[in-house]
């Protein structure tokens, strides 16, 4: 599992494996957000199966798919609400972690300085320079 911390309470990751749910709970996470659409993965990695495994591990599970190139205000708002309501550490994942990072970053616009958002993403290995106008506006 390739966890990349954006904030003390949020990490992002590329696609996780079914057996990672138990490991995430053991590592202190309380919730998982699947930003990868079911259409991109096989049955063993689809949201229904991972939601079952998350529940068995005591984790909250949220399915919030983001299609490549189709990140919209609804997903940004929904992720922000999930994070605001979370009681502990959250992991959001997609194919590479980029969509999850972008959704978080856009949800932080106006809450955190753009430079702080960009630095957090860069520390996690994500270049969000294309989002600078949206983060500053």
CATH of the domain at 72: 3.90.190.10
Domain interval for residue 102: 4-136
pLDDT of residue 69: 87
Please tell me whether residue 67 adopts helix, strand or coil conformation: coil
* Contacts (Cβ under 8 Å, ≥6 apart) of 131: 102, 105, 106
Of 128, 129, 113, 126, give the one whose Cα is nearest residue 11: 126
Q: Which residues of the chain have pLDDT under 50?
A: none
pTM score, whole prediction: 0.94
Burial class (CB in 10 A: 0-12, 13-18, 19+), 46: middle
- DSSP conformational letter for 31: E
Tally of domains in the chain: 1
pLDDT of residue 1: 86
């Amino acid at each position: 599992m390739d966890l990349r911390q954006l904030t003390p309470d949020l990490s992002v990751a590329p696609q996780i494996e079914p057996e990672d749910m138990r490991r995430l709970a053991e590592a202190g996470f309380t919730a998982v957000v699947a930003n990868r659409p079911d259409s991109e993965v096989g049955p063993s990695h689809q949201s229904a199966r991972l939601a079952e495994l998350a529940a068995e591990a005591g984790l909250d599970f949220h399915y919030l798919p983001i299609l490549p190139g189709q990140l919209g205000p609804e997903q940004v708002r929904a992720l922000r609400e999930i994070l605001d309501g979370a009681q502990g550490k959250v992991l959001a994942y997609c194919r590479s972690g980029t969509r999850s990072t972008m959704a978080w970053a856009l949800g932080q616009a106006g809450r955190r300085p753009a430079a702080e958002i960009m630095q957090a993403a860069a520390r996690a290995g994500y270049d969000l320079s294309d989002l600078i106008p949206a983060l500053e506006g």
